[in-house]
Structure 1
Amino acid sequence: MSPVKQVQVTFGCAEPERVARFWCEVLGYVVPSPPEGFATWDDVNRSLPPEDRDAWFACSDPSGVGPRLYFQRVPEGKAGKNRVHLDVRVGAGLAGEERLAALQAECTRLVALGAVCERVMPADEENESCITMLDVEGNEFCLD
């Protein structure tokens, strides 16, 4: 069996470009260049039939280490809790008050980008602190 070479995480959403650009800001990701023959993604969009315009958007880790994120338009809204979510590891290697301060600083930055802070979970006897959040379309993610 050959090893997996790449992973892509796909999100169903109402506004793919808006959600993709939010995640670019969260993760330091970038929007790939448009395909050859197009100067901008708007040019690509205009070349598509109306029903296919704004149907998807993607972003990727500029270092090539992290997974590509793909956002596709779906007709239905979010109906319940995500079965899969991203953990944004801003507190790795930190503990106690230092970890919580790093998480809260990132939470403040992301709220300014349109995220919602859902719950702050301070450290207890078994777990370090983490913060559950919602992205610009209500998808759960954690600051860990």
Structure 2
Amino acid sequence: MSAAEAIRNRATLERFHTATNSGDPDTVAKAMDAFVAPDVRFHAPVPMGATGVAALKQVWEVLLRAFPDLHVTVEETVAEGDKVVSRNRVTGTHLGEYRGLRPTGRTVDYSEIFVLRFAEGRIVEIRGVVDVLAQLRQLGALPS
């Protein structure tokens, strides 16, 4: 993989983040169709039974329903070969049901790291670590 391809993959991820920060579920779904392979391998905390891009779409539907103002701030990105690593800070206000929790009105501020593998300009594999413990503590679901 050339350095130019790594730069293109990084730019694709930036466009994807722009779409997810729109807060519009339709915009997010269209971005997934454009930037993510339909059979993407998704290795992240997803308790739903779906696979591929359908699993990713479900995750974002749940997140945007629970946190309509969800915002992902990219703090660091490294692109090398066919992979892009993104370390992010996520913020949002809990205004909808989430993981069985009724809306609390509380804000969350947590970290995540994703390693994305690209092929032919699309995301084909996602590995993620999300600080769900911090998220749930901030929502009052777990003691701090």
**TM-score, normalising length from structure 2?**
0.26
Richer in helix (by share): 2
**TM-score, normalising length from structure 1?**
0.26
Higher Cα Rg, which structure: 1
